[in-house]
Amino acid sequence: MTNMTLAVPEDLHVIMKKYNTIKWSEIARQALWDQARKLELMDKLLAKSKLTEEDAERIGHKIKHGIAKRHGLFT
């Protein structure tokens, strides 16, 4: 198994030290696995997509504009 060093904010480190019986490395390992699985699933779902990044940007802009309009940010 490969080792990895993580930097955490001091306030998080204080909490982690408070609960020193917790296996924080295992929690980090599980979080990394969860994220990796999500990325793998995303790759599989998008593998056959014909949607370009430009298409996605255009759709995203339309969605944001519609939401803004619905909330009265545009007239």
| pLDDT tens-digit series, residues 21-71 | 999 999 999 999 999 999 999 999 888 889 898 999 999 999 999 999 888
Torsional sign, CA 25, 34, 4, 11: negative
- pLDDT reported for residue 49: 87
Q: Which two tokens stand for residue 61?
A: 């802009």
Which pLDDT value is given to residue 48? Answer: 87
